[in-house]
Amino acid sequence: MAAVGEPRTDAELAAALALALAQPQQPARALTVLFFFADFHEASRRGGALDQAFEVLAASPKLRARVAFVKCDAEALEDAAERFGVEVVPTFVFVGRDGAVVDRVVRWRGTGRPRSGLTRRRTD
């Protein structure tokens, strides 16, 4: 998988998740981060500040060994957005090795703490 996958359909997202969760050569991969964005949201749209930060994280070889990064256009992937409980953008959904949602960060604007129950936790 490339540093950041960007599926265009719900079927492509399902395939990307299946691939990320079942990579035999990457047994330590513990997490998939889904970044739900929309072009109307300045910081999360392609080329926006959050998009750029997501790309930088995804380009880190150290992180890529343990984390799969997938960008999801919330408007194009409506079924997936609904399945993962996305009501606003940006939303980051953290999917564990077993395919279950571990946590999420919702509508973070880059100042202060994200609105989430996100805590540091080990997944292995």
The CATH number for 97's domain is 3.40.30.10
Please report whether residue 124 resides in a domain.
no
In sequence order, which residues have a C-beta less than 8 Å from that of residue 48 and are 6 or more positions away? 37, 41, 42
* Residue 60 domain boundaries: 4-106
Q: Is residue 119 part of a domain?
A: no
* Residues 71-80: tens digit of each pLDDT: 999 999 999 9
pLDDT higher than threshold 90 for residue 119: no
Residue 112 lies inside a defined structural domain of this protein: no
User: What is the tally of structural domains in the chain?
Assistant: 1
pTM exceeds cut of 0.95: no
pLDDT tens profile 82-116 = 999 999 999 999 998 888 999 999 875 555 444 44
